[in-house]
Amino acid sequence: MSRPSSVSPRPPAPGGGGGGPAPCGPGGGGRAKGLKDIRIDEEVKIAVNIALERFRYGDQREMEFPSSLTSTERAFIHRLSQSLGLVSKSKGKGANRYLTVKKKDGSETAHAMMTCNLTHNTKHAVRSLIQRFPVTNKERTELLPKTERGNVFAVEAGEETGA
């Protein structure tokens, strides 16, 4: 795989420091691995991750990133957007170059959805297992998307302290 010209080669990092694991999405692990090759500040990575997660679960259809981003930061956003199933595009020239991220329309998303048809016996077996071993609130919370999970933890923490 050839590296885009805007992305500098990754220097060997003494003592690690490569950051946390790259997020994987519907695009598969191949694209997400590329995120580790892009060297930008950890604060920028965190801010972009949070912004894109909020965008994914929000009502907005399109989001713009400012022209103050470097080409390397834009490359990171392009790859992260792709791994999250979003469409990104850079527009403009030179110092006026900015990036737009869009949600895929419903027809593209529908193709990514997987179905699982179960027989009557399988459904019955699953029901009886769930009745014998009910899902706990903690397990239910762990199944929520990250953004909703954070809100639930905040509410639970408030309840425990008596707030």
- The more confidently predicted of residues 37 and 108 is 37
Q: Which residue in 66, 81, 106 sits closest to 27, CA to CA?
A: 81
Q: Is residue 62 classed as helix, strand or coil in its secondary structure?
A: strand
Residue 70 has pLDDT above 80, yes or no: yes
pLDDT tens digit sequence for 6-61: 444 444 444 444 444 444 444 444 444 566 677 888 998 899 999 999 998 888 89
**pTM (two decimals):** 0.47
Identify whether the C-beta of residue 9 lies closer than 8 Å to the C-beta of residue 3: yes
Output the pLDDT for position 91. 92
* Sheet strands (E) in the chain: 62-65, 86-91, 98-103
The Cβ of residue 144 has, within 10 Å, a number of other Cβ atoms equal to 13
d(CA 9, CA 101): 25
15: its two tokens? 């003592």
Domains and CATH numbers, the chain: 29-106 (3.30.1370.50), 113-160 (no CATH)
Of 65-69, 106-110, 117-121, 127-131, the least confident: 106-110
CB-based contacts of 9, cutoff 8 Å, min separation 6: 3
